[in-house]
A and B are shown apart, each in its own frame.
Chain A
């Protein structure tokens, strides 16, 4: 990763090298962006995948109000006042999202939720939250993507489709990338894909294992038994759709590789078994370390969802689903996670930062969001912004706003913005709300103290 360089020509064209694409968890930081500064458009995005190209080339600052209150245009100050009043008066507010913004904004969001005694959750809870729970129980044998690129000679993708969700994963890190000990790229690696259907990721695999729907846990547990030299009944094929011979062949490959990696997707964490599936694959990697070096790591979708886990963890001790009602952080998935709090009707207000649960949460949760005052920060008009009491238009992280984001392997990457924006960053809006809520709470405390004194005097 070199330093960003900028060069302007007479046509007012700027080139930004080593820019970072924030669409997915790969956080590719080798973008070369050509920017027409007069038109305020990115005209070329060299090295970008299809999703990165769409991110950069379709970027256009929409001419929207700085804020909407009940759908009506408002100033930023009015929006901040309304949002602060909502949060200062809420008894059990839910702060959700954070996967598409900077760590700096995430950090301010944690400070705000701490001050108001609310609950904070990120999109992790409906992504690899179960994996977060699993690794607390069984540990994690892990590595950076750079180490994997340089060393892995057996790469297993399980329950994920990076060809469509992380398009450069193969070329940059794990399949066709040239590594220190894998100089011949794919020829030096064996690629295995395990999935319930033949996705667009399957063609790059040397071996495709089609597991029956809902049988991932059983297959992983049978593989663990075989790794440990236990007997496995051949009837396992009826349950899993995978023959014992295929399993034994995979186990031999895993035990005899030089460096193995299990990349797993939401085909494990979002389905029956959830954290048990994630725990099974993490445990399989641990078991294999008796024979060789083996790691297991989740594939993360959103650009800075890993950053949300990391920031919330270093500020509260827990990665997601954290409540501050008692003045200290409590972690309890199922109780303090967004879907649960909205579905049960517990949350009496919501702040959604850089996320759109209004388009992807279960309908019962969306129905509750419609009933309570919601605050939304997003560069675009979203389904959630449409149902919000206050919707702020913010600048786009990575394009307009600099800062830090974490790649899916936990490596922090610096963002290199290429265009200015008239809209404030998420961090600036959260800071402004924080400041105003702090004033409101102090005034309230003072008033309460005066009233108590009057009562005592009377």
Chain B
């Protein structure tokens, strides 16, 4: 991370990874092509949070959990669709970097409701 990138304030939010139609269609085409890559590297953010953080659609944000870090671009969702402080992203390689490793003796690592720090990159 260079010094310019670290000047933006990080904010703690809750990330919900899930499935989307675009991701599903994309993986059928190829996981190495644009549609899947775009679907899995775009995080949805509440528009009020975006305004407060000075973010616009397409801005890059860094998501950091206790387990790893990834950089994705953002897009806005209305407050009635996505509450403030909550993020949504389609499952894919970026979410793998953020997921935990402890399955609590269930086989299932916590894959939703991940606490992440969100920070603007550019």
- Give residues in A with beta carbon < 8 Å to B: 23, 50-51, 54-55, 58, 121, 125-126, 129-130, 133, 161, 164-165, 167, 196-198, 200, 210, 213-214, 266-267, 269-272, 274-275, 301, 320-321, 333-335, 337-340, 343, 356, 359-366, 380-383
A333 to B83, CA, bound (A): 34
Question: Do the beta carbons of B111 and A164 come within 8 Å of each other?
Answer: no
In the bound complex, what is the Cα–Cα distance between A184 and B111 (angstroms)? 39
B71 at the interface (CB under 8 A from A): no
In the A-B complex, the 10 residue pairs with the closest CB atoms: A337-B107, A334-B105, A125-B107, A333-B107, A362-B99, A54-B25, A54-B28, A198-B81, A271-B112, A165-B19
Contacts of B18 in A (CB 8 A): 161, 266-267
Q: How far is the CA of A133 from the CA of B104 in the complex (A)?
A: 13
A266 touches B112 (CB 8 A): yes
Q: A54-B29, A55-B28, A339-B101 are in contact. Are A363 and B107 (CB under 8 A)?
A: no
Contact residues in B for A366 (Cβ distance below 8 Å):
96
* Residues of B with C-beta under 8 A to A343: 101
Contact A334 B104 (CB under 8 A): yes
Contacting residues, chain B, for A129 (C-beta < 8 A): 106-108
| Minimum Cβ distance to chain B for residue A314 (Å) | 20
Complex-state Cα separation, A231 to B29, whole angstroms: 53
Q: How far is the CA of A269 from the CA of B100 in the complex (A)?
A: 15
**Contact partners of A340 in chain B: CB under 8 A:** 103, 107
Q: A269-B108, A275-B106, A333-B107 are in contact. Are A360 and B25 (CB under 8 A)?
A: no
Extra 13 A-B pairs, beta carbons < 8 Å, given A130-B107, A266-B111, A334-B105 = A23-B28, A54-B25, A54-B28, A54-B29, A125-B107, A164-B20, A196-B83, A197-B86, A272-B110, A337-B106, A339-B109, A362-B67, A381-B32
Asked if B103 and A271 make an inter-chain contact with CB atoms under 8 angstroms apart, the answer reads no
Q: Contact at A164–B101, with CB atoms within 8 Å?
A: no
For residue A268, which residue of chain B has the nearest CB?
B112
Closest to A134 in B: B106
12 of the cross-chain contacts (CB-CB < 8 Å) are: A51-B28, A130-B108, A167-B21, A197-B16, A197-B86, A213-B14, A271-B110, A272-B110, A272-B113, A360-B91, A360-B92, A362-B67
Give Cα distance in the complex from A197 to B113, angstroms: 12
Question: In the bound complex, what is the Cα–Cα distance between A328 and B28 (angstroms)?
Answer: 38
Q: Which residues of A contact B113 (CB under 8 A)?
A: 213-214, 271-272
CA distance A164 to B28 in the complex (A): 14
Q: Which residues of A contact B100 (CB under 8 A)?
A: 362
List residues of chain B with CB within 8 A of the CB of A271.
110-113
Please determine whether B107 and A121 come into contact, CB atoms closer than 8 angstroms: yes
A380-B30 contact in complex given A213-B14, A270-B108, A363-B68, C-beta closer than 8 Å: yes
Which residues of chain B are within 8 angstroms of A54 by Cβ–Cβ distance?
Answer: 24-25, 28-29
Q: A126-B108, A360-B95 are in contact. Are A213 and B86 (CB under 8 A)?
A: yes
Residues of B within 8 A of A58 (CB): 28-29
Closest residue on chain B to residue A271 by CB atoms: B112
Residues B109 and A362 in contact, CB atoms below 8 Å apart:
yes
Residue of A nearest to B96 (CB): A363
- Tell whether A197 pairs with B81 under 8 Å between CB atoms, given A133-B106, A270-B108: yes
Q: How many Å lie between the Cα of A164 and that of B23 in the bound state?
A: 10
Give chain A nearest CB distance to B48 CB in angstroms.
15
Residue in chain B with minimal CB distance to A50:
B21
Interchain CB contact (< 8 A) of A130 among B32, B80, B97, B106: B106
Q: At the interface, yes or no: B31 with Cβ under 8 Å from chain A?
A: yes
B110 touches A338 (CB 8 A): no
Given contacts A359-B93, A362-B96, A365-B101, contact A126 B111 (CB under 8 A): yes
Expressed in whole angstroms, the minimum distance between the Cβ of A56 and any Cβ of chain B is 9
> What A residues does B104 contact at CB under 8 A?
274, 334
B16 / chain A contacts, CB cutoff of 8 Å:
196-197, 213
B82 on the A face (CB < 8 A): yes
Beta-carbon nearest neighbor of B104 in chain A:
A274
Contacting residues, chain A, for B99 (C-beta < 8 A): 361-363
Q: In residues 31-76 of chain B, which contact A (Cβ within 8 Å)?
A: 31-32, 67-68
State the Cβ distance, B66 to closest chain A Cβ, in Å.
Answer: 12
**Interchain nearest-CB distance for A138 vs B (Å):** 15
Say whether, besides A55-B28, A362-B67, A126 and B109 are in contact (CB < 8 Å). Answer: yes
Q: Complex: how many Å from CA A186 to CA B97?
A: 42
Q: In the complex, A55→B25 CA distance in Å? A: 8
Complexed CA–CA distance, A30 and B24 (Å): 20
Chain A hits for B106, CB < 8 A = 129-130, 133, 274-275, 333-334, 337
Q: Tell me the nearest residue of chain B to A51, going by C-beta.
A: B24
Given A359-B96, A362-B96, A366-B96, does the pair A337, B24 have CB atoms closer than 8 Å?
Answer: no
